[in-house]
Chain A
Amino acid sequence: MKKLTWYNEMGFFNNPFSIKPAAFHNTILGYDDLIDQMNQKIGESNILLLGGKYGTGKTSILKMIINEFKGKKRVIYYNCNNKEGPINFDKLLTNLNFFRRIFRIKKKNMIILLDEAQDLDKKDILKIENYYEQGFFKSVLLVSQEKISALTPSIKKKFANNQFMVRDITTKKAIEIIRKRIGDIDFISDKNLTLIFNKNKNTRAFLKNCEDVFRCAYGTGENEVTEVHIKQILG
């Protein structure tokens, strides 16, 4: 038995309000300038830092950067949540293909993206700096929502001009994101989307709120989201 949900019945195959990073990739909106700037800096060989609050889209931006540079085996993505001791960067650099693994040849000129960089320790940072200077890493991107406690003064100097912040999106962009995901359907008006967005301006919270409101409105059998539904779900 196939279990149908409201979005299946409305004609969507997947949950259009999925909160997974870049769930529908190549449609990240609101950060075009930021991503362009970052891509340029990464191309020019730099150490970069990207910060921002929960749910603003840091990992989504990372995915867009991977998209830009992928295909030539030049990008390494590593989530520092997974580490238990010092990160074995040699393994990351040699594990790319069979021959490199056998002869332990480290690849040069790699782009390394480190998510949740607040978990890095001093040893990792020194190693990153070292490898960056030796040319194994062409560019390094550190992503973190908190201050990274282990940073050394010399690495801070290196990314002094390359710090980026992800900020909350504007109302216009928020509506655009939803429209890109669900299309120009009459089920919800832009006015009501603004109403939902004003309850919580965080991108992830906004998507979740939209999902709950849509589910509620569809469940009642009406053919439009009204203010009553929004009030019922979000107070």
Chain B
Amino acid sequence: MKNLIKLSRRNSFNLNPLETNFELIGRDLEAKEILYRILSGNLLLIEGQKGSGKTVLLKYAIDNFKGKGKVIYIDCQKLNKRLNINNLLKKKPNGMILLLDNVQELSKRNNLRIKDAYDKNSIKSVIFTTTNYNLINFTDSIKDRIGNNIIKLRKLNESTALEIIEDRFENNDLVSQIILKRLFAESKNIKEFIFKSNELIRYVLENSLERATIKHLDLLPDYVEEEDFDNTKLCSDCKSKLVKAGNYWRCKNCDNYCDNCGTLVEEEDNFCPRCGAQIEEALE
């Protein structure tokens, strides 16, 4: 029990990389690249599957540059779709470092705004992470700026994975290497592996067992991947559902927009000034 409290305090069971403070293991090359790209004012894209350790790398960047009010971390999955990202950057000094997690969720307009801010040097460097490069709403002008600055995260090997668990749980041998290896083989990604090891160690400690055995593996709960956030598609003002129009997300109650392309229009307009489509009067 004592051990359980101690490890909980150490945050050993926490799966959110932003809330924990463990050393970065097995990603030396990537870490070096991230530091360099941030310092030299470049754009960098990190591509990797769910749970492969993208956010951990961003946390590493935060740790290295924090303390001067220069780093912004945004998880685009939790960002309201209707939001203008310029509002977040307003009144910030020049030379900010922007870390954008899950950039595939970011709208095309916001991507263009980021490009503009980067050109004006109000953002010094940007690190994007994504699960799939092809899903991003990048325009060619941003792709051109990123160029070859893309890291594809490879899968960590077995020995590195074991090292991570050792680091998290302070080398206690509650679980044997053989069991950990088996867990690793059963897991799709590193996050799932850590989750399973967490649950196993927690089970052992809670029941005051001496060591985990193969039998305990069947008792582990299933790993559930994080669900996508749904409230990003709600209006930030009136909480009604947002509608996708063209490249924009709009609110039916709060915005006056063209259904075809999403541009904001004025009340007296009968035709959209951008695409020429007729604008229907909102029904009361």
**Using a CB–CB distance below 8 Å, which chain A residues touch chain B?**
3, 5, 7, 14-15, 18-21, 54-55, 59, 79, 81-82, 84-86, 115-116, 121-124, 145, 150, 204-205, 208, 211-212, 215
Contacts and interface: CB of A to CB of B under 8 A. Distances in A.
A81 B266 contact: no
A231 to B, nearest CB: 15
B148 A5 contact: no
Given A20-B41, A79-B116, A84-B84, A54 B144 contact: yes
Interface string B14-46: 000000000000000000000110011110000
B118 interface: yes
Interface residues of B, number: 33
Contacts of A86: 264-266, 273
B113 to A, nearest CB: 6
Of listed A82, A85, A145, A204, residue having the most chain B CB within 10 A? A85
Contacts of B64: 3
A20 B121 contact: yes
Given A20-B118, A20-B121, A123-B273, A5 B144 contact: no
A19 B263 contact: no
B112 interface: yes
B276 A122 contact: yes
13 contacts: A3-B64, A5-B39, A15-B40, A21-B119, A54-B140, A54-B144, A59-B119, A85-B266, A86-B265, A121-B273, A123-B273, A150-B273, A208-B147
Given A3-B35, A82-B116, A84-B84, A121 B144 contact: no
A85 B276 contact: no
Given A81-B115, A85-B263, A208-B148, A145 B121 contact: no
Given A55-B144, A124-B273, A85 B119 contact: no
Contacts of B134: none
Contact of A121 (B35, B147, B263): B263
Given A5-B36, A55-B144, A205-B144, 8 more contacts: A20-B118, A81-B112, A82-B86, A82-B113, A84-B264, A86-B264, A86-B266, A122-B276
A145 B141 contact: yes
Interface in B124-176: 140-141, 144-145, 147-148
Nearest to B256: A85
Contacts of A82: 86, 113, 116
Contacts of A211: 40
B266 A20 contact: no
A3 B266 CA distance: 51
A193 B84 CA distance: 42
> 3 closest pairs, A vs B, by CB?
A85-B264, A123-B273, A121-B274
Contacts of A123: 269, 273
Contacts of B116: 79, 81-82, 115-116
Contacts of B118: 20
A191 B41 CA distance: 28
Contacts of A122: 273-274, 276
Nearest to B38: A3
A106 to B, nearest CB: 19
A116 B120 CA distance: 14
B128 to A, nearest CB: 16
Contacts of B36: 5, 215
A212 B148 contact: yes
Nearest to A16: B40
Contact of B39 (A3, A21, A115, A208): A3
A145 B139 CA distance: 12
B279 to A, nearest CB: 12
B97 to A, nearest CB: 13
A56 B85 CA distance: 27
Nearest to B111: A81
A211 B40 CA distance: 10
Interface in B240-284: 248, 263-266, 269, 272-274, 276
Contacts of A5: 36, 39-40
A14 B272 CA distance: 46
Nearest to B275: A121
Contacts of B84: 84
A204 B142 CA distance: 12
